[in-house]
Amino acid sequence: MLITELLKQEDVTLPLLTESNQLGCLQVTGADTIRFLQGQTTCDFNLLTPTTGLSGAICNVKGRIITNFYVCQQSDDAVLLIMHHDMVTKTLTHLKKYAVFFKVDMQDVSDSYEYHHLFTDGSKLSATEPLATHSANNNTAIAISQSSSHPSSQSPICETLLVTQKGQPLAEVFEQFGSLFELPFELPFECKPDSTDKRLQVNNELQGLSIFNGQALIRQATSEKFVPQMLNMQFTHGISFQKGCYTGQEIVARMQYRGNLKKRVHLLSYSLDGTDNMTDKDAPALTTFTNREGRAVADIVVSSVLFNQVFCLAVIGDQDVQAPIFCNDKPLKKWPLPYESELES
């Protein structure tokens, strides 16, 4: 079943807006901001512009991801790194070890913003750059996933991350950004969960739909476990192989050019039943994926509970993923990723 068919079956219509309570922000400012981050991240910060964001990772010396992020430019000497909220403090502590040699200032500004995912049938943000951005009055829209830009994609849904000033009414945000999206109605309008205006479906229980973009964000439980290619970041504009050195770069490059990658992230799901205890919706802590012989074959990176199913992005060996995989004797279903064609090429 494709994601569009799943949404139709569950009577979920687009456009859909859902709040995220899992994101946080690290702000980096100062004259050396770009130069500093260029030497600490997998992405090329020289490509960052007010209209083009980036995704990337900060690695340790062994090439393992400490954290990964989306980034947007706020001004010539200020950027915003958006990551899982429980990674902001660790990332700040790590970067401070290197920042003493640069004119930069860093602070956790997570509480200054609110975060929403907007799922639409289309977007006027660039269809060729998945991280096209648009900023206005300290609010930013980032095109996280433009599935329609992949001709072979089976999931033609556009996902945009809205990072907005805390307390600002969403109706005002959509007055600024509404023209960017192919919305079937005029703006402004009331935009809140208890609104009688049904032209935009608001459902905060569905924030997990972002798992279908195939871009897993590292959190404390998975920090320093994976190299970037295991999370398919080479297919989502998250790694530059042309830029200069950064911490862990030698390991990441060797993995790419020597063909040593033997495992990568896949999207899997299984159905819940009365025996499952998912009250905290934490699949990584509660489940093990095994093969027929009972051997554990997956490292779960992130999970979401949707429509009485658990969806997981899990790192699995190339050989193991070819055979049936189970969770407590229940077979897992594999779902296509937006960049599936690149994975198969």
Distance CA(240)–CA(236), nearest Å, equals 11
Higher pLDDT, 330 or 24: 24
Picking from 83, 79, 86, the residue whose alpha carbon sits closest to that of residue 29 is 79
- Average pLDDT value for the chain: 86
Q: Tens digit of pLDDT for each residue in 149-166?
A: 344 444 468 889 999 999
User: 261 near 255, Cβ under 8 Å?
Assistant: yes
Residue 277 phi, psi (nearest 5): -115, 95
Per-residue pLDDT at 338: 81
Whole-structure pTM value: 0.90
Q: Tens digit of pLDDT for each residue in 72-131?
A: 999 989 999 999 999 999 999 999 999 999 999 999 999 999 999 998 876 666 555 658
Domains assigned to the chain: 220-344 (2.40.30.160)
Per-residue pLDDT at 284: 52
